[in-house]
Amino acid sequence: MSALTTLFRDAGRPLLMPYAVGGYPDPESCLAIVRAYSKAGAGIVEMGIPFSDPLADGPVIQAASQVALRHGVKPAHVLDLAAQIAGEGVPVVLLSYLNTILAFGAERFFDRCRSAGVLGVVVPDLPVEEADGLQKTAKDRAVDVILLAAPTSTEARLARIAGAASGFIYCVSTTGVTGARASLRYDLPEFVARVRRHSDLPLAVGFGVSTAEQAASVASYADGVIIGSALIDLVQKSQDLDSALARLGVYLDEIGAAMAGTAPREL
């Protein structure tokens, strides 16, 4: 069992998993934002490596990525941030598109992940059919490559994803790109139950979760609740960093309180 899977199992409750774009709005501010996530009770922080063509991301995260790229943020800078955060006791998972990993060099990238204390890497554009080589490179360095499952996946595909997955499975709440949504799919609990029939790994839900009510609902049947665009939108609309940190704290406290009302669950 990997360290990431063990983290979920030992928690005994669904984990709040806030997302940050690495280096946004600048590296020092990003570090303060992630510390605010931790202070608000984040179980795992997910940090994205800015990419020029993030196909799975909606306009909010795309805009933040562009800001970070214009400021010269590179994968090595995000890995340095991850090392600092992990060194402060905050579990870290990265999100990286495949081209970024290949351009960096897969062995070198996962060597850096291991030395930084990164537990896993979500690769949203990595199909399960092409995952074996990258997964072996990562597993040899005690890092999980996180695979995604979508509501449109057939049972056969879910079984294949489950058979290849490690760490946890990222359950995409809807088709399309990331972004806050007024409501989630009515059949999302059924989708997560479908995935769970194929795997005993933890299941985290992301894409679209933005309100305390939605987070509490997802926490009632999933093992992790990933929130990204809503958080980055708060930062973008804040006058300054201090205002952003205050607003993030209030928002995440509301999310955490809502999730705390869900029953503990054994994995």
Domain range annotation of the chain: 3-259
Q: Which residues are catalytic?
A: 46, 57
Alpha-carbon distance 181 to 176, whole Å?
A: 12
Alpha-carbon distance 261 to 48, whole Å?
A: 29
Query: Would you mind telling me the total number of residues written for the chain in this entry?
Result: 267
pTM over 0.85, yes/no = yes
Alpha-carbon distance 183 to 198, whole Å?
A: 26
Specify burial of residue 95 (Cβ count, 10 A radius: 0-12, 13-18, 19+).
Answer: buried
CA angle 141, 163, 177 (to 5 degrees): 85
* Successive 10-residue mean pLDDT values, the chain, 267 residues: 96 95 96 96 96 75 92 96 97 96 98 98 94 96 96 94 96 60 70 96 92 93 94 95 96 94 58
Q: Which CATH class is domain 3-259?
A: alpha beta
State whether residue 63 is helix, strand or coil: helix
- DSSP assigned state of 182: S
- CA 66 vs CA 42, 77, 207: distances in Å: 26, 15, 20
CA nearest neighbour of 47 among 14, 83, 71, 13: 83
Q: What is the pLDDT of residue 178?
A: 46
Q: What is the pLDDT of residue 112?
A: 98
Q: Which residues contact 6 (CB under 8 A, 6 or more apart)?
A: none
Q: What is the pLDDT of residue 246?
A: 96
Q: What is the pLDDT of residue 174?
A: 67
Q: Tell me whether the omega of the peptide bond preceding residue 25 falls within 30 degrees of 0, making it cis.
A: yes
Alpha-carbon distance 102 to 150, whole Å?
A: 24
Phi, psi of 203, deg, nearest 5: -120, 125
Q: Euclidean distance between the first and final Cα of the chain, in Å?
A: 12
Q: Which residues contact 40 (CB under 8 A, 6 or more apart)?
A: 16, 18, 248, 249, 252, 253, 255, 256
